[in-house]
Amino acid sequence: MHSLERVTGGLARAGQSHVLQFWPELCEAERAGFLQELSQLDLPGLRDHCEGAARAAAATAARLDRQMEPVPPESIGSTRKSDEDSLAMWGDEGLLQISASRVGVLLLAGGQGTRLGVRFPKGLYDVGLPSRSSLYQIQAERIHKVQDLADRKHGSRCSVPWYIMTSEFTLAPTETFFKENDYFDLEPSNIVLFEQRMIPAVTFDGKVILQGKGKLAMAPDGNGGLYQALEDHKVLEDMQQRGVQYLHVYCVDNILVRMADPVFIGFCVTKGADCGAKVVEKAYATEPVGVVCRVRGVTQVVEYSEIQPETAELRGPGGELVYSAGNICNHFFTRAFLQDAAASYKDQLKQHVALKKVPYLDASGRQVTPSTPNAIKMERFVFDVFPFSRNFVVFEVEREEEFSPLKNADGLTADGPTADSPTTARNALLAQHCRWVTAAHGTLLDEDGNPLPPRASASAVNKPPARCEISPLVSYSGEGLEELLRGRTLQTPLLLDEKRAKELQMNRAL
């Protein structure tokens, strides 16, 4: 039973009575819906949330330069710098764990995609590949393939469950999309959707924002809301029942993400890590990405706004950046560590301030769309648990192979396509697949029938790569292509899907 009297008193004690100023104008159905929404708020903690948000927005970012040091070399693995034997050993260990159904993947997919300019979850987005695959389809097919690789190696019938954290904005359309696409041939019971909490946006003077006369302006509580959501929806119990011991956690928008990457999983397991992070080398000293490092001896991610330019520019004896480990939201956790995080650490996580433009009602009930930020959204980040790790490791990967996020709408700058846009994501995947064909000793022809150079302009910003796409169902990370493509000349645009791969196999056998 939702009591108007209880809610009214709670709002008054929190200094938020203005929330009910339009109550007399609402019909009975609107009142019931609004009362339910208000009853779900943490009313006793609302004052602290609002006042804390206002204080945090007014504060200046801490400077951590003097307490920072790089992650020690013994805690770092690298696809570029580690030897081939080590990489092979880690890959074998990862496939062994996957074959025993001890590995799950956990997707952070609660964001709204406002910068991308769409009104649907990012996972549904089609960046314009020849296959017209959505991000969700690409990721589902990578799960299929990594299961297949583990089964072939170990004679198993494994499963990699897919846990997807959504929000109020993304849950229903994500559920519908998976149903309409028959779960991309994955077992529906192995796809577990759950919802993170929502928290109110507040003004710079600490007042909850009304989006409508009977509606608060709410936002997901950041991807660090994962730890509360795991507890709310008994997800950790589900993992335990399935025998999942290791989780690969990632963000939905990276088109190059390697689901349950065996090499990363194997590295972390071999090192006995409870927590790990993939990183890429920063493109330049002041690139606006967080840096994985140690502060006062404890591993954490330091935001670029917390580092002085002269610290960011520090270089080692070989000219390399001292603080080069760029965070890409691609993590490893043991289930035991996640259990500890949900039980003990989640309330100790740092709160981060995001300043946003949020439509609101003014005092007269008029809808206003602001042109400058007017709201504070408080967020926790998934990496805020790193300081609680007892054995943290870092795994460096190559940006062009594993990281191309989709964040902004398409457009053009003086240097080429807008960064982190559908165009750059599409080009990153096509360029990677061009490299795979070359590595398999195949030759691609452009649309005029001319052989493309080995790199196929794969790194050129202004010149897109050849339209060559290889289905994840054919190859997870470039493996298995040489027997199909060695000595072959292939016309682009090319979509090498399972059907085409079987045709090539049959032709090779004749």
CA-wise closest residue to 313 among 282, 280, 279, 277: 282
pLDDT value at position 468?
A: 96
DSSP class of residue 421 equals S
pLDDT value at position 459?
A: 47
A 10 A CB-CB count for 404 gives 25
Q: What is the pLDDT along the chain (510 residues), one digit of tens a residue?
A: 458 889 999 999 999 999 999 999 999 999 999 999 898 888 888 888 888 888 888 887 777 888 899 999 999 999 999 999 999 999 999 999 999 999 999 999 988 777 888 889 999 999 999 999 999 999 999 999 999 999 999 999 999 999 999 998 899 999 999 999 999 999 999 999 999 988 899 999 899 999 999 999 988 888 999 999 999 999 999 999 999 999 999 999 999 999 999 999 999 999 999 999 999 999 999 898 999 999 999 999 998 888 888 999 999 998 999 999 999 999 999 999 999 999 999 888 888 888 888 999 998 999 999 999 999 988 889 999 999 999 999 999 999 999 999 999 998 777 778 889 999 999 999 999 999 999 999 999 988 888 988 664 444 445 678 999 999 999 999 999 999 999 999 999 999 999 999 999 888 766
CB 318 within 8 A of CB 311: no
CB 89 within 8 A of CB 266: yes
Torsion angle, CA of 140/224/40/347, rounded to 10 degrees? 140
Tokens of 248: 């690969």
End-to-end CA separation in angstroms for the chain: 73
CATH number of 65-402: 3.90.550.10
Map out the domains of the chain as residue ranges. Answer: 65-402, 418-509
A 10 A CB-CB count for 8 gives 15
CB 329 within 8 A of CB 223: yes
Helix (H) or strand (E) holding 367: strand 367-368
CA-wise closest residue to 401 among 479, 464, 478: 478
- CATH number (2.10.10.100, 2.40.50.140, 3.30.70.20, 3.40.50.1400) of 418-509 reads 2.10.10.100
CA distance 427 to 420: 11
> Strand 68-69 and strand 215-216: pairing?
unpaired
CB 290 within 8 A of CB 302: yes
CB 137 within 8 A of CB 281: no
CA distance 292 to 324: 8
CA-wise closest residue to 65 among 313, 354, 429: 313
CB 362 within 8 A of CB 21: no
CA distance 291 to 323: 7
Helix (H) or strand (E) holding 301: strand 298-302
DSSP class of residue 345 equals I
For 48, residues 6+ apart whose C-beta sits below 8 A from its C-beta are none
CB 494 within 8 A of CB 488: no
CA distance 120 to 171: 10
CB 244 within 8 A of CB 101: yes
CA-wise closest residue to 299 among 279, 318, 313: 279
Q: Specify which residues 295 forms β-bridges with.
A: 68, 298
Helix (H) or strand (E) holding 164: strand 162-166
Rg (CA), the chain: 24
CA-wise closest residue to 162 among 139, 126, 187, 190: 190
Q: Within the chain, what is the greatest distance between any pair of CA atoms?
A: 81
pLDDT value at position 469?
A: 97
pLDDT value at position 510?
A: 60
CA distance 475 to 477: 6
CA distance 463 to 100: 44
Q: Is the pTM of this model over 0.85?
A: yes
For 119, residues 6+ apart whose C-beta sits below 8 A from its C-beta are none
